Amino acid sequence: MSRTILVVDDSLSMRQMVSHTLEQAGYAVKAAVNGREGLEVAQANAVDLVVTDVNMPEMDGIALVRALRAEPNHRYTPILVLTTESTDTKKAEGKAAGATGWLVKPFSPDQLLKVVTKVLP
């Protein structure tokens, strides 16, 4: 049974890289270009993990995390936040919103897979 991972990022190259890496590792991937679209995909589909960028138009990553935690289906869904900040504020913000973990850009495909394995049940 392959797990489904939702990738939310407004950057096409990032979306491609993350999706491709996850697909190669055997995960099913759904993608969205901003928080609002991501929320819609998560509401309509069974998703085992959400990987989201922070800075996005329409609805940013932090708002998406909050919205997902309010959904009964995603109260406990693991969420990874992709951030460019290595400083603690953004991570703390993400954690406070209910994110499970984070990954600081730049990261390698192997680092991504390692964190994904770590948070997926």
Partner 1 sequence: MLLKLHDKLTIASADELKATLVAALDGGGDILLDATAVEQIDLTGLQLLFAAHKTAVRNGKTFAFAEGAASEVIDLAALRAGFARDADDSNTSLWLRRSHEHA
Partner 2 sequence: MSTPDPTSAMEQFAATFREEAADLLTDVETTLLALETSPDDPDLIARAFRALHTIKGSSAMFGFTDITTFAHALETTFDEVRKGNIAVTPALVSLALQGKDLIRSMLDGSGADTKEACAEVIHALREMDVAAQPPAPAAPRVSAPRPPDPPAVAKTYRVAFQPQADLLKDGTNPLGLWTELLELGSGEVVATTDQIPPLHDLVPDACYVAWDAVLTTQKDEAALRDVFLFVEDRGALTITLADDGESDTEDDKKLGQILIERGSIRPEQLQAALAAQPRLGTILTVGGTVAPDQVAAALAEQRVTRQARAERAAGAPVDAAASVRVAADKLDDLVDLVGELVIAQSRLTQVAASRDDLELVAIAEDVERLTADLRDNTLNLRMVPIGSTFNRFKRLVRDLSTELGKQIDLVTDGAETELDKTVIERLGDPLVHIIRNSCDHGIESPADREASGKPPTGTVRLAAYQSGPNVIIEIHDDGAGLDVEAIREKAIARGLMAADASLSEGELFQLVFLAGFSTAKSVSVVSGRGVGMDVVKRSIDALRGTVELKSKRGAGTTLRIKLPLTLAIIDGLLVSVGTGRYVLPMSLVEECVEISRAQVEEARGAHLVPVRGELVPYMRLREWFHEEGEQPLVEQIAIASTEGRRFGFAVDDVIGQHQTVIKTMGRMYGDTEGLAGATILGDGTVALIVDVAGVIRNAIPAGPPPS
Which parts of this chain interact with partner 1 (CB under 8 A)? 1, 73, 75-77, 121
Spatial CA neighbour of 58 closest among 88, 32, 91, 21: 32
Q: Which does 93 bind (CB under 5 to 8 A by kind): partner 1, partner 2, none?
A: none
Which residue's CB is nearer to partner 1, number 6 or number 54? 6
Nearest distance from residue 106's CB to partner 1, in Å? 30
* Region label for 72, one of left (φ > 0), alpha (ψ between -120 and 50) or beta (otherwise): alpha
Q: Which does 45 bind (CB under 5 to 8 A by kind): partner 1, partner 2, none?
A: none
Spatial CA neighbour of 5 closest among 65, 67, 48, 61: 48
Say whether 1 sits in a helix, a strand or coil: coil
Nearest distance from residue 52's CB to partner 1, in Å? 19
Question: How are strands ordered across the β-sheet holding 49-53?
Answer: 28-32, 4-8, 49-53, 79-83, 101-104
Residue type, position 23, single letter: E
Q: Which does 34 bind (CB under 5 to 8 A by kind): partner 1, partner 2, none?
A: none
Nearest distance from residue 10's CB to partner 2, in Å? 7
Write out the residues near partner 2 by the rule CB under 8 A.
Answer: 10-14, 16-17, 20-21, 24-26, 53, 55-57, 69, 76-79, 82, 84-87, 95, 98-102, 104-110, 113-114, 117-121
- Measured between alpha carbons, how far is 57 from 54 in angstroms, rounded to an integer? 10
